[in-house]
Amino acid sequence: MTTLHEIIDYCDARLAIDDFADYCPNGLQVEASRKVERIVTGVTASLALIEAAAERKADLLLVHHGYFWKNEAAPLTGVKGRRVRALYASNMSMAAYHLPLDAHEELGNNARLGALLGCVDPRPVGDGLLWGGGFPAELAVDALLARVQEFTGRKPLLLPGGAHGVRRLAWCSGGAQTWVEKAADLGFDAYLSGEASESSFHLAAEREIHFIAAGHHATERYGIQALGAELENKFDLEHQFVDVPNPV
């Protein structure tokens, strides 16, 4: 049987967590079970996900969005208290990997998005969290939107930047709407992220770059699944991804 700390040590090193100045602690956040046979992965450590993992008798819950964010109240009361209490009641540990799981060039959310989008040579551009790639031929915006909808399972929001198609696409998973101008500065035809802000509409039009908001949750489901699958193979564990749908 694999120990909890064998798994956490492996994940911490694999995702190079010490290379990131993040908004939350990466790695083990709640320690309960010391041995691990079953892992459940999910995007956010909500009470619904914890309860679903407990039903599956998970020893370890691995998520992208965990707890203890900067500027967040520290006491384990209210929502956070109920979540942590549910973890301990199920004897389930919880670990979270945020920016390291966005940036990883093999397992990361952005790497996985590049593959799903069908981009040629997807790679970091200008920043480890901003990625870009191209298409063999110019892609009509409607065709790109259909591709995004196919793998996310939801209709993306388009903020048009003109009448042009897309040959070069930049993206960053989650809530990176402010980076549309970085993508425009680098000459991309379109930029995809999870969320949009009120200002995104005007920036897309004035910088002549299409902005696609595909959903924060929907764009961050892929890295945690890849990490769980790797752990399943390496440590001979049971792994299941549980998707708790979120329209945001």
Percent of the chain beyond pLDDT 70?
100
Q: Which amino acid is at 174?
A: G
On average, the pLDDT of the chain sits at: 97
User: What's the token pair of residue 214?
Assistant: 């595909």
240: β partners: 40
Statement: residue 126 has pLDDT above 90: no
Please report which confidence band the pLDDT of residue 127 belongs to, taking 50, 70 and 90 as the band edges: confident
What average pLDDT does this structure show over 61-85? 96
134: β partners: 120, 168
39: β partners: 60, 239
For the whole model, what pTM was predicted? 0.96
Q: Which residue has the tokens 């708790």?
A: 244
CA–CA dist 243, 169 (Å, integer): 27
Percent of the chain beyond pLDDT 90?
98
- Which helix or strand (DSSP H or E) is residue 147 part of? helix 141-152
pLDDT of residue 144: 98
pLDDT in tens, 198-246: 999 999 999 999 999 999 999 999 999 999 999 999 999 999 999 999 9
Contact 108, 171 (CB under 8 A): no
